[in-house]
A and B are shown apart, each in its own frame.
Chain A
Amino acid sequence: MAAIVGPSGSGKTSLLSVIAGSMTPDFGRVEISPATAASPRIEWIVQSSPLLPKRTALENVMLGPLSTGQTDDRSVERSLRAMKDLNLEPLVHQRVERLSGGERQRVAVARAIAAGSKILLADEPTASLDAISREAVCDALVAARDNGGVVVVATHDPYVAQRCDLAYSVESGKLVRL
């Protein structure tokens, strides 16, 4: 789990886009370890992760495994497990539109975990969240890492960077380990 820190406009999001393959770098290359590349799905968590607001949290999390071709039963099973890991069990049947910002972010993380995505790119996942929600989202990202995922977080929140195993700074287009 790595944090990429830096001021706004420094290129954090661009770096995530390069890792995701949606942007071609001017130079350099992205290498993904064979173990991670075996499950090539990349999940994005953004400041306001897209969810289906009229549907329940469980149905939203199920979109992850369903999008990988899993059956309904298997999707429910994986989704409930992911939600349990992120302490989302009480919200299983809540409509997403009734959830707080932090809870929504955790649902998005649960969706990524349930999908079996090995690479999780989070772009300012805690922006505009209160302290409790921020803590919960960080816990969710840590849980994703503990599930064997690679988590890269672009943030300017020192607390989030502190929760990561590694921290890098983008300075003048170069990645500097902190």
Chain B
Amino acid sequence: MKTLHLETFRRRAVIREALLNLRARPALSLVVFTASATAAFLLTFGTSLDVSAISSQYAAQVSSGVNVASVTSVDSSPLGAGRCAQLGDVPGVLDAGGLVRYRPVIIGGTGARVTVAEVTSGYAAIIWPQLRQTRGNLTVVAGSAIAVDQGLRKGSQVAIGEATNSVLSKVRINAVASTSQRSPRFDNYIAVIVPPTGNVSSCVFESQPGSQTGLGGLVPSWFPNIPTNLAPLTEIGTIGTTPAQLFASRISQAFPALAFALIALATLGFWVMRRSEFALYRLLGMPTSKLLLALVVESTLLIALPECVGALVGDVVIPRMSEQAVALESLGLAVAQLAALSAILPVFGMCVLVAKKPISILRSAG
């Protein structure tokens, strides 16, 4: 038996035909292009908004002390202030410092009774993060509430004594803190910064995001021969919460699938609408591999290109989101997921278009 090797469309001709077919339907092509661009834009925009919201939420948590923990000895015995300060040098720890003691005092002149907290500079920087940059120069810090009550401001001199008739000593306020979200009671205190020598009653440290898990194993044995307890500084704090955990449950994880659904609907609709056109090519002997090539060419112009445009526009239009690596990863992952899903569309489209015999399609199309 003689085997016939029929010539068929050249690859270049297939590409040209795909381009001409799109040009022949400018309005519908534009609709699909716009749908793809819009889907990519919404994906980028929506994911960025969601990620930004989570970043803000996380930043608020960090600001309120979610990463701050307090170490105290089990039997209330003092901890080494120097050792506490050294904790700040451990990788993953942002800052560390100790509380020496609370001291009730009387302010000369007004006779007001207030509390002075003797703390190391690291402790003050954790309680009032906005003072972290100037922590080296801190000597006396007035909490926000007491500053209002006593009319204290930066540079004010205050005479304080242990009791009404005691000798007053003068201190100069060199910083007035804003409201502390981490320990609101400090708003009513005057903090006197002391060097990290001697002992402290408690040691607090702030870990960097994502470092809590490792530190949870290190810190309890940080003070030699002293059994310690580790607890969040504030009630809202939960040691172990990481940005990754927050992002893992974000709603925008569904956005790539939704964007893909919109693109698939537009593209497959466009192709199915033109099924008799593809049936004619098959009737003329175009093999499925060449049909797939035509769909890939169309997909490049109608899906890949507008997706790039939409994603770029989305990235430019939206307010710059958090630069956190995990946030950028989330956006990159969303775009990659959409691209991967879109890549299967030509194959899926081909399966749809060759499901019926071309002659049947042409007959039903009239």
Contacts and interface: CB of A to CB of B under 8 A. Distances in A.
Interface of A: 40-41, 44, 48, 50-52, 54-55, 59, 63-64, 66-69, 71-72, 75
Q: Describe A's contact surface by its main secondary structure.
A: loop
22 contacts: A40-B4, A40-B6, A41-B6, A50-B279, A50-B283, A50-B365, A51-B280, A52-B21, A52-B24, A54-B24, A63-B281, A63-B284, A64-B284, A66-B13, A67-B8, A67-B9, A67-B284, A67-B285, A67-B286, A69-B7, A69-B9, A72-B13
A54 B25 contact: yes
B366 interface: yes
Contacts of A50: 276, 279-280, 283, 362, 365
B140 to A, nearest CB: 82
A52 B277 contact: yes
A4 to B, nearest CB: 19
Contacts of A40: 4, 6
A55 B20 contact: yes
Interface of B: 4, 6-10, 12-13, 16-17, 20-21, 24-25, 276-277, 279-281, 283-286, 362, 365-366
Contacts of B7: 68-69
Contacts of B283: 44, 50
A114 B7 CA distance: 14
Given A54-B25, A63-B284, A69 B10 contact: yes
Contacts of B16: 72
Contacts of B17: 63, 66
A101 to B, nearest CB: 12
A54 to B, nearest CB: 4
Contacts of A63: 17, 280-281, 284
Given A50-B276, A67-B285, A72-B16, 19 more contacts: A40-B4, A40-B6, A44-B283, A50-B283, A50-B362, A51-B280, A52-B277, A52-B280, A63-B17, A63-B281, A66-B9, A66-B10, A66-B13, A68-B8, A69-B9, A71-B10, A72-B12, A72-B13, A75-B13
A130 to B, nearest CB: 19
Contacts of B281: 63
A48 B9 CA distance: 24
Nearest to B13: A66
A55 B17 CA distance: 10
A11 to B, nearest CB: 18
Contacts of B365: 50
User: Which of A51, A54, A64, A66 counts the most chain B CB atoms within 10 A?
Assistant: A66
A68 B365 CA distance: 25
Contact of B20 (A48, A51, A59, A71): A59
A55 B366 CA distance: 18
A67 B324 CA distance: 55
Q: Which are the 6 A-B pairs with shortest beta-carbon distances?
A: A69-B7, A54-B24, A67-B284, A50-B280, A66-B13, A50-B362
A167 B281 CA distance: 32
A68 B4 CA distance: 13
A18 to B, nearest CB: 15
A63 B283 CA distance: 11
B284 to A, nearest CB: 4
A130 B13 CA distance: 36
A52 B18 CA distance: 12
A51 B281 CA distance: 10
B359 to A, nearest CB: 8
A103 B109 CA distance: 110
